[in-house]
Amino acid sequence: MKLSTTTAQNSFKYSWLLSRIFPYIKPYIPRIVIGFLVAIPLGLLDGVTAFALKPYMDYVIGGKALEFSLFGRDITITVLQMSFILPVGVVLFAGLQGTLRYLNDYISAWTSQRITNDVKFDLFHRLIHMHPQFFDENPSGIIISRYMNDPATASTGIVEQIKTITTSLCGALGLIAVMLYSSWQLAIIGVLVLCIAFVPVALIRKRIKSTSNKNMVIGGNITTNINETYGGNKVMAAYQLQDRQEKYFREQVWDSFNVNMSLTKRAAWMSPMMYLIASLGIATVLGYGTHLINTGHMTAGSFASFVTSLLLLYKPVKTLGGTLTSIQNIFVAMGRVFELFDLKSEIKDCENPIELEGLNNGITFENVSFEYVKDHPVLKNFNLNVQKNETIAIVGNSGGGKSTLVNLIPRFYDIQQGSIKIDNTDIRNYSLKSLRQNISMVFQDNFLYSGTIKENILMGNPNATDEELNNAIKSAHLQDVLQELPNGIDTVLGERGLTLSGGQRQRVAIARAMLRNAPIVILDEATSALDNESEAIVQKAMDNLMTNKTVFIIAHRLSTIKNADRIAVITEGELVELGSHDELMNHENGQYKALYEMQFKKQEMAV
Ligand SMILES: Nc1ncnc2c1ncn2[C@@H]1O[C@H](COP(=O)(O)OP(=O)(O)O)[C@@H](O)[C@H]1O
Ligand SMILES: [Mg+2]
């Protein structure tokens, strides 16, 4: 599943998307409702200032006292009183509105971040359980963009938009009410013009979606580029790849520029067009309004209220217009998020899995065929039976399928044909967790996480006692290394911490594997990247790890291979020879013998 090839098809299925996001919103509904309730008066209050202009114009400026009766009593408000009440009222309303706005912002920020958190938690949980092939196929930049940025856009957006839509809509309704109250004829003209002004927004929706998707892919590519520049900085320096990286980066940034400009070219006329239509509306209103005042159908105060409302209406309406664009982006992000939710790890437990508890008999490969890419078989009809506590060395040409073979045992990949059995049960019938619990692995390049050395070793078995930890350190020949470090085993590794040499890293990895104390041990070129001196000490550590275990070892060192119980020679994904060193050396024209003449003899002579 390549994440960059998404079509954003989902983003058009609005009800489906809303039904998917609903479970995340559900726990926060009470708060969202409170935010919603606060947003209604917040929006409606927009109309108050405009409304206040009418009495101000008609009574204060017109010099009339306001007379009305309330509960049977006649009340008179003089011009002087009115000229105080109105300004004070406006300020009080602003204070009320400010308080409501703060509450509303706080509630919506809180809920949207919480929903984002929940979505991120669930997505990350799925990410860490994805099968290795998923990580083979998808560059880090795309993963970061899809697993971190999209959820934020999707969930923050949805709450923010509920808030914006409610306040703007209520604002608009309040203002329209004032307009209707001032003059229904003018109000109809005003609202009609507004509706026409919105037509262009609807027209460019699709374009916004496809742009948003292209931007996601480009953003991902840029992140990947920066990750590779960082991770590959030495190779870049050694092979002077700066120009190459720079060229890619420039291309990607220009891609992003072009995508955004093409959207701007097609969408930027929208806002001026809305202005133009609005100005036509205002012109009509001014003309017709003058006529209404002159013919005595409307007071000057009502007209002032009306025009102010109409002008104030521009803001909520423009916000609502912008909301339509944002909502498109949110639906695209939501579409992408739920696409990730529907990805299933291809490597998972069967129904009613059995727990694997140690190894009793052995491991068998029966007619195993495997391919990473369709129709490019890597292992072909492979058969091998490994006894408990046997050490099997795997040798062969590079790219022949040795690493692939051992990666099939912990089910990093599932085979297409045949069966791999542990104690006569297919490994797919065991729970993934128990299967992997029974395997210790050391690779050529072992990943150490940022954190202390102790933490990295304890990953092998978090419940290990201090005694077990010390034994593992001793067997891995790590004491000397630890003694020289300022903080010993508590030295921090990683991004800002210390970097260990290759041999030291391997020994930490071996200590980690040792602590796991699993019956099956897989060593894939664990000493290949080391110089002779570190190799010798790592080899000793490895020998300790291998005692009384069932071992698959891929190695290039003759002594290691010779010490194995049997040697399996793999060429182009096929088992071509199997036997002890002496047996295989007796095969005239045998592959092992040829390999020996070519590679190992030199090592033997050097000793
Ligand atoms: N993750 C992968 N995705 C696709 N092809 C792969 C992957 N890993 C290895 N291959 C291919 O499978 C073949 C066997 O590789 P591998 O098992 O690593 O060989 P060896 O360890 O013997 O050098 C090679 O052709 C290699 O290109
Ligand atoms: Mg390999």
pLDDT in tens, 81-108: 888 888 888 888 889 989 999 999 999 8
- In the prediction, which pLDDT does 206 show? 67
For the residues 364-388, what does the mean pLDDT come to? 95
Q: How far is ligand 1, taken at its centre, from the CA of residue 373, in Å?
A: 10
Q: 533 or 412: whose pLDDT is higher? A: 412
Q: Tell me the pLDDT tens digit for each residue of 26-54.
A: 999 999 889 888 888 888 887 887 888 88
| Ligand that comes closest to the CA of residue 445 | 2
- Residue 346 resides in a domain: no
> Can you give the CATH number for the domain in which 306 is found?
1.20.1560.10
| Ligand that comes closest to the CA of residue 399 | 1
Q: Tell me the pLDDT tens digit for each residue of 229-242.
A: 888 887 888 888 89
Q: How far is ligand 2, taken at its centre, from the CA of residue 402, in Å?
A: 6
At which of 548, 580, 602 does a domain end?
Answer: 548
CA distances from 489 to 220, 470, 484 (A): 37, 11, 10
For the residues 158-185, what does the mean pLDDT come to? 88
Count Cβ neighbours within 10 Å for each residue of 226-237 and write b for 16 or more, e otherwise: eebbeeeeeebe
* Termini Cα distance of the chain: 50
Q: 278 or 572: whose pLDDT is higher? A: 572
Q: Do 329 and 368 reside in the same domain of the chain?
A: no
- In the prediction, which pLDDT does 58 show? 83
Ligand 1 pocket test: pick from 136, 378, 576 the residue with the most ligand atoms within 8 Å of its Cβ.
Answer: 378
- In the prediction, which pLDDT does 433 show? 93
Q: Which atom of ligand 1 is nearest to the CA of 398?
A: 23
Pairing of β 377-387 and β 362-371: antiparallel
- Residue 164 resides in a domain: yes
According to DSSP, the residues that pair with 574 across neighbouring strands are 571
Question: How many folded domains does the chain comprise?
Answer: 2
- Residue 599 resides in a domain: no
At which of 548, 565, 590 does a domain end?
Answer: 548
Q: Do 13 and 101 reside in the same domain of the chain?
A: yes
State the virtual CA torsion across 507, 511, 516, 517 in degrees, nearest 10. 100
Q: Which atom of ligand 1 is nearest to the CA of 524?
A: 21
- In the prediction, which pLDDT does 155 show? 85
**What is the Cα 376 distance to its own chain's centre?**
31
CA distances from 336 to 3, 10, 16, 51, 219 (A): 9, 7, 13, 46, 14
Q: Do 384 and 303 reside in the same domain of the chain?
A: no
Beta sheet of 417-422, edge-to-edge order: 377-387, 362-371, 417-422, 425-426
pLDDT at residue 496 tops 60: no
- In the prediction, which pLDDT does 106 show? 93
| Ligand that comes closest to the CA of residue 398 | 1
- Residue 593 resides in a domain: no
pLDDT at residue 428 tops 60: yes
Residues of the chain with pLDDT > 90, as a percent, come to 41
Q: How far is ligand 2, taken at its centre, from the CA of residue 497, in Å?
A: 30
pLDDT at residue 572 tops 90: yes
> Can you give the CATH number for the domain in which 540 is found?
3.40.50.300
Ligand 1 pocket test: pick from 347, 370, 403, 443 the residue with the most ligand atoms within 8 Å of its Cβ.
Answer: 403
Provide the residue range defining the domain that includes 493.
362-390+399-548
Least confident range of 149-153, 199-203, 583-587: 199-203
What is the chain's mean pLDDT, rounded? 88
Where residue 319 falls among pLDDT bands split at 50, 70, 90? confident
pLDDT at residue 10 tops 80: no
Give yes or no for a contact between 568 and 394, defined as CB atoms under 8 angstroms apart. Answer: yes
pLDDT at residue 538 tops 70: yes
- Residue 135 resides in a domain: yes
Check: pTM over 0.75? Answer yes or no: yes
Q: How far is ligand 2, taken at its centre, from the CA of residue 395, in Å?
A: 10
- In the prediction, which pLDDT does 607 show? 62
pLDDT at residue 401 tops 80: yes
**What is the Cα 463 distance to its own chain's centre?**
31
Q: 73 or 362: whose pLDDT is higher? A: 362
pLDDT at residue 251 tops 70: yes
| Ligand that comes closest to the CA of residue 524 | 2
| Ligand that comes closest to the CA of residue 372 | 1
Q: Which atom of ligand 1 is nearest to the CA of 132?
A: 1
Ligand 1 pocket test: pick from 347, 404, 409, 553 the residue with the most ligand atoms within 8 Å of its Cβ.
Answer: 404
Ligand 1 pocket test: pick from 135, 372, 380, 575 the residue with the most ligand atoms within 8 Å of its Cβ.
Answer: 372
Q: Note residues around ion ligand 2 (Cβ under 5 angstroms).
A: 403
Three-state DSSP string of 483-532:
HHCCCHHHCEECCCCECCCHHHHHHHHHHHHHHHCCCEEEEECCCCCCCH
Q: Do 337 and 458 reside in the same domain of the chain?
A: no
Least confident range of 212-221, 255-264, 438-447, 543-552: 212-221
Q: How far is ligand 2, taken at its centre, from the CA of residue 116, in Å?
A: 41
**What is the Cα 164 distance to its own chain's centre?**
26
- In the prediction, which pLDDT does 50 show? 82
Q: Which atom of ligand 1 is nearest to the CA of 404?
A: 17
Q: Do 368 and 335 reside in the same domain of the chain?
A: no
- Residue 219 resides in a domain: yes
Give yes or no for a contact between 159 and 36, defined as CB atoms under 8 angstroms apart. Answer: no
- Residue 293 resides in a domain: yes
Q: Which atom of ligand 1 is nearest to the CA of 413?
A: 1
Where residue 6 falls among pLDDT bands split at 50, 70, 90? low
Q: How far is ligand 2, taken at its centre, from the CA of residue 399, in Å?
A: 7
- Residue 606 resides in a domain: no
- In the prediction, which pLDDT does 205 show? 66
Q: Do 333 and 443 reside in the same domain of the chain?
A: no
Ligand 1 pocket, residues with Cβ under 6 angstroms: 136, 372-373, 378, 396, 398-404
Q: Which atom of ligand 1 is nearest to the CA of 396?
A: 22
